[in-house]
Amino acid sequence: MDVMPRQSVRITMVGFTLVEMMVAIALFAIVASLAVPAYTDFVMRKRAASGINDFLVDLNVARGEATRQRRTVVMCARGGTAELCDTTTQDSAACACDEEARWENGWIMFVDFDGDNALSAASIDTLVGVHPALPEPITFREADGDHLVAFNSRGALGGTTARFALCINDRAGTDDDEDVLARARFVDVALTGRAVVSRSVENPGSAADACYHTPS
């Protein structure tokens, strides 16, 4: 009588030694240290692009309103960012124009019937729109211009050309972040009222100063 041989079964346990686990954790930490800054930078670039797009849309809204109403329409940086700006508060500090042109605090648009470049009471000027503040660490400054944009009845600028610098400065107040200008977006508004966005300018000058300006 033949006896079938007994088959042996060997079970191999798969596991990690302490050294292998420490190496795996170290590798994960390295990958995370590379991925997190890249993701953060991506998010900030998206926010910056959104801010630029909103700004361009509102420039076109203000310009269109000026030609439609045959009146001067002003777009300026907001000074009263902490308060609600609407038709009931438009003659208060809540809707004041910021003389230092810190556009990252948001901006307002209004039909300037009395021609004083400031939003007066609802019985005088007409509030067209209000944009909220941009998220930190974005700075959005007027590098060159009159600290506001005024479109006349023909849709052209009532003053000089304007240049804006929107920057992502994660080390605000320093001028040694080489990525600041690389990430910056510049908006130039010609005398015709047409706005153009560029990624860089040949001579940054005051635009670079605007990027490195510490938010306040």
Entry field: residues in the chain? 216
**Interatomic CA distance for residues 22 and 10, integer angstroms:** 29
Q: Mean pLDDT, to the nearest integer, of 86-99?
A: 89
One DSSP character per residue, 78-96 reads: BS-TTS--STTTTTSGGGP
- Confidence (pLDDT) at 75: 95
d(CA 119, CA 55): 19
Residue 15 burial (CB count, 10 A)? 7
- What pLDDT sits at residue 178? 60
Q: Count other C-beta atoms under 10 Å from residue 161's C-beta.
A: 13
- Using the predicted structure, report yes or no on whether residue 9 has a pLDDT greater than 60: no
CATH code of the region 18-212: 3.55.40.10
In whole angstroms, give the CA distance from residue 66 to residue 141: 24
4 or 185: whose pLDDT is higher? 185
181 backbone φψ class: left, alpha, beta (φ>0; ψ -120 to 50): alpha
- Please tell me whether residue 169 adopts helix, strand or coil conformation: coil
pLDDT for 164 beyond 80: yes
Domain spans of the chain? 18-212
Which tens digit of pLDDT belongs to each residue from 132-157? 998 877 888 888 878 899 999 999 99
| pLDDT band at residue 46 using 50, 70 and 90 as cut-offs | confident
Task: Order the strands of the 73-77 sheet from edge to edge.
Answer: 126-131, 107-111, 73-77, 148-151
Task: Output the pTM of the full model.
Answer: 0.74
Q: Please state, in angstroms and rounded to a whole number, the distance separating the CA atoms of residues 180 and 207.
A: 11
Structure token digits, residue 167:
């920057």
Query: Would you state the pLDDT for residue 199?
Result: 74
